[in-house]
Amino acid sequence: MVRFLKQALTGEKVDARYDSFTVKGFRLGRPPASTPPILIAALRPGMLRLAGREGDGAIINWLSAEDVASVVPYVGPGKEIVARIFVCPSDDADRVRAMGRFAVSAYLNVPVYADFHQWLGRGPVLKPMWDAWKAGDRKAATAAVPDEVVDDLIVHGTPEECRAHIDRYLANGVTTAALALVGAGNDTRKAIRDLAPRR
């Protein structure tokens, strides 16, 4: 798909047989003035290497600032690394952790994310959550998410603390931080202003 898109987005006519499909005579009606980069969503080594080899970079998700250092080398040097980073600008840690446990248990029980976090080394701390989820006890699974996992995966605190945490993602290899605001309530604009980098 990436090879097809790279050719199609130039405006050229595409006649090609790829590994899993064939295209005959496709030409984009209105090609962009300049070819946009193609980023591949990736979690573990195979897809991360594919993103670096075939794409212009990778989109990563549900990982800590420290995890970035383990992920980026698989993509390779000079590639774009976009990270979706969950941010809750609140210094009410108990509220954030309660909310975060629901999000973590919902996502990290999806097999691809479970495998990703096993690979990252979180298997032992997440096993009680996974066991409870498999047993059908969603309440126990949510309660079993450790505070430190929420603190690793959801940036929270004062705006200054949040900016410092986001800076750790950038220092470890993220080139574009795609912030996903959670729990900001009705004051999203204020949260965006508060989280904006200081010049």
Tokens of 140: 């126990």
Q: How far apart are CA 87 and CA 72, in angstroms?
A: 21
pTM of the model: 0.90
Q: In Å, how far are 68, 122, 123, 125, 162 from 114, measured between CA atoms?
A: 17, 9, 8, 12, 26
The DSSP bridge partners found for residue 155 are 87
Q: How far apart are CA 196 and CA 199, in angstroms?
A: 9
- φ/ψ of residue 24, rounded to 5: -125, 110
**pLDDT tens per residue, the chain (199 residues)?**
999 999 999 999 999 999 999 999 999 999 999 989 999 999 999 999 999 999 999 999 999 999 999 999 999 999 999 999 999 998 899 999 999 999 999 999 999 999 999 999 999 999 999 999 999 999 999 999 999 999 999 999 999 999 999 999 999 999 999 999 987 666 778 888 888 877 6
Q: In Å, how far are 32, 57, 159, 176 from 70, measured between CA atoms?
A: 35, 15, 27, 17
